[in-house]
Amino acid sequence: METIVDRQLPKFEKRGRTMRVNFNEQEFTQESEGSEPKTMWRYTTAEFSPVASMRERVEAIIATRYPTESSEFRASDTREYRDLVDQADMLARESFGQELSEDYIREMQRRKLQRERDSALQAMKHTFDDGAVVQVRPQDMSNFQTAIAAGESQDWIMDDNTVRNTTVEELQAAMASGIAQGKAIWDNYAENVKAL
């Protein structure tokens, strides 16, 4: 649930028979006609029993964004969902009073970087001179190789699902673009992992 208040809240608070986890803190200014702007805070708040298990706490935190009864909750494997699962694991551990080790935090950061890398690889595109856009993801490279080996122009499905006749030279340029983009993404990922 979303919580909006006029004061900062602690990350963990016990209210009666409920434990609350306030996370994703955002500070903002609320304007009101005829009065001074007021500083407010917005949180995502999860609630569970203080005796809830680790799994129950993780699920309660995830359910703030993905209700447990929704089919998308169980089937989702988006980067956003995986980030939330890792965040929920960290918050649940902290709610038990566990101190997060440097190795654990480093692993969570590495996993986040890995998801960012995978997302960037899946978003790779090449734009032809006429403005047509084609996907050049890693899984598309073998299709480019096969088409180039055929040695003749052919119809190719563009990013917007239109069909366009492409030359061997255009396919070669798209493939080279995909390789260069992929290398840059992997190099960036490697540098970020080394910096952890």
Q: Give tens-digit pLDDT for 134-170.
A: 999 999 999 999 999 999 999 999 999 999 999 999 9
| 147 class by beta-carbon count within 10 Å (0-12 exposed, 13-18 middle, 19+ buried) | buried
Q: Among candidates 163, 135, 132, which has minimal Cα distance to 154?
A: 163
Query: pLDDT > 70: what percent of the chain?
Result: 95
The whole-number pLDDT of residue 98 equals: 92
Q: Quick check: helix, strand or coil at residue 42?
A: strand
Residue 81 has pLDDT above 70, yes or no: yes
Residue 181 has pLDDT above 70, yes or no: yes
The H or E element that residue 75 is part of is helix 71-75
Which phi and psi angles does 93 have, rounded to 5°? Answer: -60, -45
Residue 131 has pLDDT above 90, yes or no: yes
**How many CB atoms neighbour CB 160 within 10 A?**
9
Contact 193, 113 (CB under 8 A): yes
- DSSP structure class, residue 96: T
| Domain coordinates in residue numbering, the chain | 2-100, 124-194
Q: Which two tokens stand for residue 165?
A: 């006749």
Q: What is the pTM of this model?
A: 0.74
Residue 91 has pLDDT above 80, yes or no: yes
User: What would the pLDDT profile of 3-49 be if each residue is shown by its tens digit?
Assistant: 999 899 999 999 889 999 999 999 999 887 878 888 999 999 999 99
